[in-house]
Every structure is written in structure tokens, then in C-alpha cells.
């Protein structure tokens, strides 16, 4: 028998269905609430609002669990690759060998961008943050590839998916090359996904460039651990924009803009800026922990805290280890890593952080690895975007396939009641 919860308002009782997810998570279905009661719910920041039913990613924030389509992130990072995980997220199952080869070929044959698209980069100042051209060029794909815009046509969607996955690293690397005045480097389709991106970023025409296989493997893993995180700000943005039946390119472009913010994907850049600030100020970690606790300072420990994780973010745990490996391999002793470790240690033993269950998140260590690999600070959120793309696509595709209604929240109006227009000469000073 279906379970219900009873809600009593002004002495009248209403039954609301109780739903249970596949991991025994429970939800109160309020779909009929307004129709039955005339009331809406108020949930600023959506902390208690399930916006959809989704079969893509499971997170247990209390236990620090993250699974893509049921597979633990740790197992995928140890055995899989970014493109295989992209397939898993988008299509729901791990591919057969044949399916994986076909998928890789389909993505790889779309790595070039239209030559005319390159002109867009010229319109940006050299010091433009690369998230702006990234979002703009992805949006512009919709004008160059008009044969793949119908969200309800599965062939169009397939084409748009492969084009986006193929082109995003190229679009990202061109944004970097433009910012440093170097020529754009064409993709080399003989290389694996992350390796190809590295050569577009760091090679120059007059010199031979050899991709370091260990570094490209690390980058592939970094992309993989970022690949999805259920209904976060950017994924919800992608779903929301797509719910109006906007095309996939437009929806992903909006997701990139949402990711850019310092409380979301921009936090990895924020962490390194914070660590540098602490280093420049003499390395006094305690001072900055105190500052983060002082609400009037407006300062937060970047890379700390999470809406869902009230325990270690499993991605942070993995990246902390990876950080030691990469820096060890490159023979880099980064003083900022030492500050990061001391900051983590101090915060984890501080009552303020313990009480609020604030732990390092995925952004805390990723930036140190990116820096060691030679990426400039403002490319960090771009790397996050490349990694997150399969998740955004999977979320958008699921939303379309579920025929979700247009997303349209309500509000509690707290503005002035009706009043009447006064001509300018009657308004006082
Ligand atoms: N430093 C100091 N205090 C913090 C921090 C922090 N990093 N994060 C949360 N708090 C405090 C906050 O002031 C509040 O205290 P109180 O209860 O006394 O008012 C309490 O902890 C709860 O914080 P909240 O802002 O209500 O939590 P939220 O779920 O709305 O925000 C967050 C989550 C990730 C935006 C926030 O923890 C934060 O701003 N962290 C720093 C930015 C960051 O690292 N973002 C990356 C998130 S993970 C990757 C991603 O999503 O892109």
C-alpha cells in the first residue's frame, strides 16, 4: 500500500504521498500541494527540494559516498577512463568494447571547430577570463550546427552530444592560446582525450611536443572524478534551461556560466588564490581560519564545506593522494601544498568547522595538481567544465526523456501591495 504523510492546515487534513528511492531515501511528494491547499512551499537555495527523479548519480553526504549509475567513484577512477564514464553517465550502462570504440570514434571525429568560430576569440580582450569565451563559443555552436538543435529528435541529440564532447577541449585550449597570444593548435585525433587537450594547450608549432602519459592519465582521472554530481547548481541550470526545450548547446552554455561562480566550479581557482594570499602574508594558517570564522570578514575557506557532504568529500580524499603522486613525479615542492595541508589540519580540529561539518571538498586539492601540471589559475574552472560536461549532458538528456515540465518555481511575494502611478511632479523629492 502506498504510504502517505498527513498534513494539517487550519484544521483540515491532507494526505501527501511518501516516495522511496532505490537507496531508501524518502521524499514527500508535494506535486499536488498547491492544488489541494492553495499553499506553496518556501525553500530558498532548494536545500530540501527534490527537483526531479534521477537515475544518474547517487550521493550519501553523511557517509561520503559518490556513485555514478551505481558504480563507486573509487572503482571507476581505478579502472575506467573519462570517455568510458561519459558513456556510462549518458547512456546508463558501461559500454561493450565495440560500443566504447564506436563512441570514442564518434567523439574524436568532432574535435575540430569551424574555422569561422575562431573569429569569436578575437573579440575578447587578452585578459578575458576563459570561462567567458568557453560559454560564448559553446552557445555559438548552435548557430554553426543547426542540424542538431531539436531536443526531441534523438538523432539531433546524438550528434550534439558527440560534437560537444569532441569540441569542448578544443574550445577551451583556444581560449588559453588566445590569452597568451600563441597560435591555436589543431587537435590530433591519434591522441587520447586528455592527451589531445594537453597538446592543444601546451605545444607550439616550432617545437616538438611529447605528451607525458602519466600526466595525461592523471588529467583523465581528474576529468572523471568531476564528471557528475547530481543536482548541483550548474546541472540544475542545464536542466532548467533545457526544460524550456532550449537546444543542448544553449543549455550547456548556461551550465558553464553557473559553474564559473566562486561558490561552485570557480572555487578551485579561489583555493589557489587563497593559499597564495596566506603565503604572501607569512603563512599564518591560524589567522585565516580565524578570519573564516568571523562572519563580518566576508572571508570563507575556499575548498571547504559542501551543501550535501557532511563528511569527507570522497573526491577530495582521492585528489589529496593524487596530489602527492603528481608533485612527487614532477619533483615539485610546492609551498602552497604545505599551506593547504596545514590549513586542512587546523580546520578539521577547529570546533567551528567540526560543528558545521565542514570538510575539504573536491576543489581543495585539484588546483594544486593543475598548477603543478602548468595550467594557469583562470583555467582551473575550465578544466572543471570539461570534466563536468558528460554529467550535464546526462542530466539534460534524462530531463528530456522524462518529458519534464518547464521548470517554473513559485515565490512568496513580499513587495508593496497595489498602489497607483503618480506623475513625476507629484512624487516629492
Ligand atoms: N568557510 C567558513 N564557513 C563556512 C564555509 C567556509 N568555506 N562554508 C560554510 N560555512 C559556514 C557558513 O557560514 C554557515 O555558518 P552558520 O551556520 O553559522 O551561518 C554554515 O557553515 C553553513 O554554510 P552555508 O553557506 O549555509 O552552506 P551552503 O550549503 O549554502 O553552502 C558552499 C555550501 C559550498 C557554497 C559553502 O560551504 C562555501 O561557500 N564553501 C566555499 C566555496 C567552495 O569551496 N565551493 C566549492 C563547493 S564543491 C564543488 C562545487 O560544487 O563546485
- Give 318's Cβ-side CA count (13 Å radius): 21
Strands 12-20, 26-28: pairing kind:
antiparallel
Whether the CB of 365 sits within 6 Å of ligand 1? no
Q: Environment class of residue 7 by beta-carbon count within 10 Å: exposed (0-12), middle (13-18) or buried (19+)? A: middle
Give dist(CA 3, CA 97) in Å, integer: 43
Residue of the CA atom closest to atom 13 of ligand 1: 295
* Model confidence band, residue 86 (pLDDT cutoffs 50, 70, 90): very high
Q: Which three cell numbers stand for residue 30?
A: 508535494
Q: Environment class of residue 342 by beta-carbon count within 10 Å: exposed (0-12), middle (13-18) or buried (19+)? A: middle
Contact between 157 and 246 under an 8 Å Cβ cutoff? The reply is no
Is the pLDDT score of 332 beyond 90?
no
Give dist(CA 235, CA 52) in Å, integer: 12
What mean pLDDT is predicted for residues 340-350?
A: 94
Whether the CB of 385 sits within 6 Å of ligand 1? no
Rounded to the nearest angstrom, the distance between the alpha carbon of 308 and the centre of ligand 1 is 10
Contact between 160 and 247 under an 8 Å Cβ cutoff? The reply is yes
Whether the CB of 302 sits within 6 Å of ligand 1? yes
Is the pLDDT score of 333 beyond 90?
no
Contact between 195 and 221 under an 8 Å Cβ cutoff? The reply is no
Contact between 16 and 7 under an 8 Å Cβ cutoff? The reply is yes
| Angle of the 82-91 helix axis to the 154-180 helix axis, nearest 10 | 140
pTM: 0.95
Radius of gyration of the chain (CA): 24
Sign of dihedral through CA atoms 77, 79, 85, 88?
A: negative
Residues 208-248 have pLDDT tens digits of 999 999 999 999 999 999 999 999 999 999 999 999 999 99
Annotate the chain with three-state secondary structure: CCCEEEEEECCEEEEEEEEECCCCCEEECCCCHHHHHCCCCCCHHHCCCCCCCCCCEEEECCCCEEEECCEEHHHHHHHCCHHHHHHHHHHCCCCCHHHHHHHHHHHHCCCCCCHHHHHHHHCCCCCCCCHHHHHHHHHHHHHHCHHHCCCCCHHHHHHHHHHHHHHHHHHHHHHHHHHHCCCCCCCCCCCCHHHHHHHHHHCCCCCCCCCCHHHHHHHHHHHHHCCCCCCCHHHHHHHHHHCCCCCHHHHHHHHHHHHHCCCCCCHHHHHHHHHHHHHHCCCCHHHHHHHHHCHHHCCCCCCECCCCCCCCCHHHHHHHHHHHHHHHHHCCCCHHHHHHHHHHHHHHCCHHHHHCCCCECCHHHHHHHHHHHCCCHHHHHHHHHHHHHHHHHHHHHHHHHCCCCCCCCCCCCCCCCCCCCCCHHHCCC
**Catalytic hit among 306, 334, 338, 349:** 306
Name the phi and psi angles at 233, rounded to 5. Answer: -60, -50
Rounded to the nearest angstrom, the distance between the alpha carbon of 309 and the centre of ligand 1 is 11
Which residue among 61, 293, 301, 305 is best mutated to probe the pocket of ligand 1, counting the most ligand atoms within 8 A of its Cβ? 305
Establish whether 306 is a catalytic residue: yes
Residues 6+ apart with CB under 8 A from 18: 2, 3, 4, 5, 26, 27, 28, 29
Residues above pLDDT 90, as percent of the chain: 93
**Catalytic hit among 363, 402, 403, 420:** 363
Whether the CB of 362 sits within 6 Å of ligand 1? yes
Q: Environment class of residue 216 by beta-carbon count within 10 Å: exposed (0-12), middle (13-18) or buried (19+)? A: buried
Give dist(CA 376, CA 276) in Å, integer: 13
Rounded to the nearest angstrom, the distance between the alpha carbon of 311 and the centre of ligand 1 is 13
Rounded to the nearest angstrom, the distance between the alpha carbon of 347 and the centre of ligand 1 is 13
Rounded to the nearest angstrom, the distance between the alpha carbon of 297 and the centre of ligand 1 is 14
Q: Which of 217, 190, 185 is nearest to 201 (CA)?
A: 185
pLDDT at 324: 86
Is the pLDDT score of 35 beyond 90?
yes
Find residue 334's DSSP bridge partners.
none
Residues 107-161 have pLDDT tens digits of 999 999 999 999 999 999 989 999 999 999 999 999 999 999 999 999 999 999 9
pLDDT at 2: 81
Q: Which CA distances in Å does 373 have to 3, 17, 111, 330?
A: 53, 51, 23, 8
Give dist(CA 358, CA 92) in Å, integer: 32
* Model confidence band, residue 206 (pLDDT cutoffs 50, 70, 90): very high
Residue of the CA atom closest to atom 39 of ligand 1: 263
Whether the CB of 264 sits within 6 Å of ligand 1? yes
Is the pLDDT score of 393 beyond 90?
yes
Whether the CB of 361 sits within 6 Å of ligand 1? yes
What mean pLDDT is predicted for residues 324-334?
A: 88
Residue of the CA atom closest to atom 22 of ligand 1: 356
What mean pLDDT is predicted for residues 260-284?
A: 95
Is the pLDDT score of 1 beyond 70?
no
What mean pLDDT is predicted for residues 168-173?
A: 98
pLDDT at 276: 95
Rounded to the nearest angstrom, the distance between the alpha carbon of 254 and the centre of ligand 1 is 23
Contact between 49 and 230 under an 8 Å Cβ cutoff? The reply is no
Residue of the CA atom closest to atom 17 of ligand 1: 356
Is the pLDDT score of 287 beyond 80?
yes
Whether the CB of 167 sits within 6 Å of ligand 1? no
Give dist(CA 180, CA 315) in Å, integer: 31
Whether the CB of 366 sits within 6 Å of ligand 1? no
Residues 362-381 have pLDDT tens digits of 999 999 899 999 999 999 99
Q: Which atom of ligand 1 is nearest to the CA of 295?
A: 13
Amino acid at each position: 500500500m502506498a504510504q502517505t504523510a498527513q498534513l494539517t492546515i487550519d484544521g483540515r487534513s491532507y494526505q501527501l504521498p511518501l516516495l522511496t528511492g532505490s537507496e531508501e531515501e524518502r521524499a514527500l511528494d508535494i506535486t499536488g500541494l498547491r492544488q489541494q491547499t492553495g499553499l506553496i512551499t518556501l525553500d530558498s537555495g532548494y536545500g530540501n527540494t527534490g527537483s526531479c527523479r534521477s537515475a544518474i548519480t547517487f550521493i550519501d553526504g553523511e557517509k561520503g559516498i559518490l556513485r555514478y549509475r551505481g558504480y563507486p567513484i573509487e572503482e571507476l577512477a581505478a579502472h575506467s577512463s573519462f570517455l568510458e564514464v561519459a558513456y556510462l553517465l549518458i547512456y546508463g550502462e558501461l559500454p561493450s568494447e565495440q560500443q566504447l570504440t564506436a563512441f570514442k570514434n564518434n567523439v574524436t571525429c568532432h574535435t575540430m571547430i569551424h574555422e569561422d568560430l575562431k573569429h569569436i576569440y578575437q573579440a575578447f580582450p587578452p585578459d578575458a577570463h576563459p570561462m567567458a569565451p568557453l560559454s560564448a563559443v559553446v552557445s555559438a555552436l548552435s548557430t554553426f550546427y543547426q542540424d542538431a538543435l531539436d531536443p526531441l529528435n534523438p538523432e539531433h541529440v546524438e550528434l550534439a552530444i558527440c560534437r560537444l564532447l569532441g569540441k569542448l577541449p578544443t574550445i577551451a585550449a583556444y581560449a588559453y592560446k588566445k590569452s597568451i597570444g600563441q597560435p591555436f593548435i589543431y587537435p590530433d585525433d591519434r591522441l587520447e582525450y586528455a592527451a589531445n587537450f594537453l597538446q592543444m594547450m601546451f605545444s607550439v608549432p616550432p617545437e616538438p611536443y611529447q605528451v607525458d602519459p602519466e600526466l595525461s592519465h592523471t588529467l583523465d582521472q581528474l576529468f572523471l572524478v568531476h564528471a557528475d554530481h547530481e543536482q548541483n547548481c550548474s546541472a540544475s541550470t542545464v536542466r532548467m534551461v533545457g526544460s524550456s526545450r532550449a537546444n543542448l548547446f544553449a543549455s550547456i552554455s548556461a551550465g558553464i556560466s553557473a559553474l564559473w561562480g566562486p561558490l561552485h566550479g570557480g572555487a578551485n581557482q579561489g583555493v589557489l588564490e587563497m593559499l597564495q594570499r596566506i603565503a604572501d602574508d607569512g603563512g599564518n594558517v591560524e589567522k585565516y581560519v580565524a578570519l573564516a570564522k568571523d562572519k563580518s570578514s566576508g572571508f570563507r575557506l575556499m575548498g571547504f564545506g559542501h551543501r550535501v557532504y557532511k563528511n569527507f568529500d570522497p573526491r577530495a580524499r582521492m585528489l589529496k593522494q593524487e596530489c602527492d603522486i603528481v608533485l612527487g613525479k614532477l619533483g615539485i615542492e610546492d609551498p602552497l601544498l604545505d599551506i593547504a595541508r596545514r590549513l586542512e589540519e587546523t580546520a578539521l580540529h577547529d570546533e567551528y568547522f567540526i560543528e558545521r561539518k565542514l570538510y575539504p571538498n573536491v576543489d581543495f586539492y585539484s588546483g594544486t595538481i593543475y598548477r603543478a601540471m602548468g595550467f594557469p589559475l583562470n583555467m582551473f574552472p575550465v578544466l572543471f567544465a570539461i570534466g563536468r560536461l558528460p554529467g550535464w549532458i546526462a542530466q539534460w538528456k534524462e530531463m528530456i526523456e522524462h518529458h519534464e515540465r518547464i521548470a517554473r518555481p513559485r515565490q512568496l511575494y513580499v513587495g508593496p501591495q497595489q498602489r497607483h502611478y503618480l506623475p513625476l511632479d507629484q512624487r516629492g523629492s
